[in-house]
Every structure is written in structure tokens, then in C-alpha cells.
Amino acid sequence: MERDVIDLDGAMGGGQVLRSGLSLSMVTGRFTTPGMTEHLYSNIRVIESFLPLRITCTTAADGVLHVECRA
């Protein structure tokens, strides 16, 4: 099933909180963000430790981080 992609283009501060909320609320899906933060990294590790999910992060040629969550 194809999901919509949410682009958080360069959002700082509130964008970081939004990325956290998205990562915590999505069961499967994907989003893009300007880059990895310690906050996002720790959320990914917490989510993976409690749920049977795999979250992958890939940096594109333009530097945008693609985050994908699969069950």
C-alpha cells in the first residue's frame, strides 16, 4: 500500500517535535526530513524496542533523510 510522503522541508524547533509525533504515531509509512537529529534517533530506537517494527533511514543525494517504517 502506497502512503503519502510528508515533507518537513527544513523545519526546525517545532518541526523536530512534529517529526517525533509522526514517528511515534505511524505504524507503517514514511516521511522525509532535512536530516537526522539525536531526538529522532532516540525515538526510532525506543519505538523499535517496544514494537515489532523496522525503521530505516536513507540519505538521498540531495541530503534529505528518508525515514520508512515497516511492520
Catalytic residues: 39
Alpha helices in 1-71, H assignment, sequence order: 14-25, 38-50
Q: What would the grid cell of residue 32 be?
A: 522525509
Q: What are phi and psi of 57, to 5 degrees?
A: -125, 130
Long-range contacts (CB closer than 8 Å, 24 or more residues apart) made by 37-45 = 40/16, 40/67
